[in-house]
Structure 1
Amino acid sequence: MGGVIVSGKVHDALMQGPDNAIGLFHGYTYSAHPLACAASLAALDVYQDSGLFERACRLAPVWENHADGLRDLPLVVDIRNIGPLAAIDLKPRIESGVRIVSTKTHSSLGGAAGSHPAGNASR
């Protein structure tokens, strides 16, 4: 589920075109698909009924404290936290045979569900 908020100026620029054009046509995927909407609403009900948002708020300081505890490790360049999420920048560790491939200034490992948009670890 998502939404788009734009200024009036951006809206007006994007809405140039024929009257039958799709509003803010900029890459929607399955816009307002009934099954996707139903699944999203059901997921939000589960989150609310299970108290997942409140649990995340309670666990955030614990997670931040533990993540920040890694700051003094020799390979850690920087740690940034927001709520229950943390980004940990690591120095390359060439001597171990593991190299982090990245186009960014510092390489990072981690991410939700094992995703790693910044680069890939390889041997």
Structure 2
Amino acid sequence: MPATLITCFLDDDESRDDPIVGRSIDLSNDVEVSGGGHHVLENARLSALQKDLEKEMKVKDGLEKFMSSNTSASKRYLEDSKNMLDDSKAKIALLRMQIEKIAHQEHDVNLNSDGEDLLVVYMLSQFTNLR
């Protein structure tokens, strides 16, 4: 997974939490751990997607409340809100698919490693029976 870079400037009085465009900040969640690096990367990606999903659900809920409570709002505001709600629903569907894909891949990896473990145990038992 390629790292995402954002360019920003930081004033002396500002922290890294308040970037201004100009300097590069590495936003990748790439954490390498020997032997389990891929698993850690998948967990970081899954956590980020779940956090994005929670935020987008709040956006959707807010838009739905706005639209239901503001019947007197101008037609333009309601149309814009409807478009934003449609976009939000599409993003939620995409995030759910991505989360499901990662969960499915992780499940497949676990099944494969369990199968390999069983094969090794079986082969060792057959080898010891030959003695």
Query: What TM-score, normalized to structure 2?
Result: 0.20
Instruction: Determine which structure has the larger helix proportion and give its number.
Output: 2
Higher-Rg structure is: 2
Query: What TM-score, normalized to structure 1?
Result: 0.21
Instruction: Determine which structure has the larger strand proportion and give its number.
Output: 1
